Amino acid sequence: MKRNYLYYLLVVMLLVASCEKDEMACTTSVETQEVSSIAATTAKCGGIISSDGNPTIKEAGVEWCTTSDFESNVSCASTAKAKLGKFACEITNLKANTQYYVRAYARNSYGTIYGKVLSFKTLEIVLPAVQTNSVTNITISSATVGGKVTSDGGASVTERGVVYSTSQNPTTSNTKKVSGSGTGSFSVSLSGLTEGTTYYVRAYAINSNGTAYGSQVSFATKNGYAYVDLGLSVKWATCNVGASSPEDYGDYFAWGETTAKTTYDWSTYKWCNGSFSTLTKYCNSSSYGNNGFTDYKTVLDLSDDAARANWGGSWRMPTDAELAELRQQCTWTWTTQNGVNGYKVTSKKSGYTNKSIFLPAAGHRYGSSLFSAGSDGDYWSSSRDTYDPCYAYGLSFNSDYVMRLDDTRNTGQSVRPVCP
């Protein structure tokens, strides 16, 4: 009888302990919080632990896997500081564009309890978003440019920088300047650029999905010579080739020659064999070409352009059409500037009417003499007469007129450069 009593007492004690344990386990709860900051490979989730006096929470965190059946599928976990109240965890090393399931958990000495299972889908990895900044600090051979990576596209930006070229829409196959990695703003210095040249530049950023480019920005390195923007199709230099000031006459060039000389006639002209009927370049008539030579060229090659040869960069001689634009879109005022006669040429374009250049009446050279200096001005264009290959177009003026020039190519005349 005593043995039976001890048996029943033991059973009762076990039942009481079991009930007490279950009661304690049930009085601790955990709630799964909504998933936030969802990216292609990461997210954030957490939970809220509540208790009314049960044993201390030893561990808390979240578990996740690609199915809602946590019991039969391998899941990953991230732990947080074990304490009552809210906790948050980083979910990492996820696959992009994938459905996941997540639940919060808390563990004490009696076991583990779980929150509700929630689902979320990681984002697809796309190209980064990048902006190109404006170009600053432009010199004859350098400039500063940068950009801003505003989004990594769901994957780490492993490289960023700028690409640039003299052709439009440059890529990383062209010249590039790297400026680190990640998102945010950046800036680089470009050096070794060519004087007076137009460049095209784009910011870029690379992630695992590919390379993204910002909008294209263009800029031109400085020419090393002053110019005035009259609001026309080209900008006009403030002085002649060979001159040191706007009033200085500068050098004189035969059409298609790039150096000044002492004698200007057919016997010294570069592109003939001693006479106007033996032309060796820029000829559209066999009657004037040497041994019937023709090439039908009507515009000077840059290698024969006195402005480009002497000033470099993007400087060149104006075309016949650009000289016509200067004549027609500007007001011409005969004046004397620092003791030198010539025309003040002022733009008629809205917003540019305060802009002007001065063209001195430098005359012209023929033979070994200078003619009409102080009264006339004769300036070459890069355009040959389309009918008579012995002649080329330009600009001629005195105090009474401003007109299109059509003169023999062997004459020495002034050159006023233009640039884009």
Residue 6 has pLDDT above 90, yes or no: no
Q: What is the pTM of this model?
A: 0.58
Higher confidence at residue 194 or residue 259?
259
Query: Over 80: is that where the pLDDT of 45 sits?
Result: yes
Q: Where are the domains of the chain?
A: 28-121, 129-220, 227-419
Q: Is 325 helix (H, G, I), strand (E, B) or coil?
A: helix
pLDDT above 80 for 147: yes
Matching residue, tokens 């040497």 = 290
Say what the pLDDT of residue 101 is.
95
Confidence check: pLDDT of 18 > 70: no
74 has pLDDT over 80 = no
The pLDDT of residue 72: 66
Mean pLDDT of the chain, nearest integer = 91
Instruction: Check whether 11 has a pLDDT greater than 50.
Output: no
Across the range 379-408, mean pLDDT stands at 97
Instruction: Please report the pLDDT score of residue 17 as a whole number.
Output: 45
Residue 293 is predicted with a pLDDT of: 97
Query: Where do the DSSP E strands lie in 92-213?
Result: 99-108, 111-114, 118-121, 129-132, 143-151, 159-165, 175-178, 184-190, 198-207, 210-213
What does the block give as tokens for 42? Answer: 């990461």
The predicted model gives 364-391 an average pLDDT of 98
Q: pLDDT for 309-338, tens place per residue?
A: 999 888 999 999 999 999 999 999 999 999
Quick check: 19 and 110 in contact, CB under 8 A?
Answer: no
Q: What is the rounded average pLDDT of the residues 181-203?
A: 94
pLDDT recorded at residue 16: 42
**pLDDT at residue 53 in the model:** 53
Above 90 in pLDDT, residue 31? yes
Spatial distance between the Cα atoms of 90 and 406, rounded to a whole number of angstroms: 80
Task: For residue 80, report the phi and psi dihedrals to the nearest 5 degrees.
Answer: -130, 175
- Confidence class of residue 223 from pLDDT cuts 50, 70 and 90? confident
In percent, the amount of the chain with pLDDT more than 90 equals 75
Quickly count helices (H) and strands (E) in the chain: 3, 27
Please give the C-alpha separations between residue 375 and each of 238, 252, 394, in angstroms, as whole numbers. Answer: 20, 16, 17
Asked if 28-121 and 129-220 have one fold, the answer is: yes
The one-letter amino acid at 179? S
Q: What is the β-pairing status of strands 159-165 and 198-207?
A: antiparallel
Cα separations in angstroms, 399 against 333, 338, 372, 385, 413: 9, 17, 12, 25, 18
- Does residue 8 register a pLDDT over 70? no
- pLDDT band with cut points at 50, 70 and 90 for residue 19: very low
Question: What average pLDDT does the segment 346-355 reach?
Answer: 97
Calculate mean pLDDT across residues 246-274: 98
Q: What is the pLDDT of residue 24?
A: 41
305 or 71, greater pLDDT = 305
According to DSSP, residue 348 is labeled: -
Mean pLDDT, to the nearest integer, of 277-293? 97
Which CATH code for domain 129-220?
2.60.40.10
Q: Hey, what CATH class is 28-121 in?
A: mainly beta
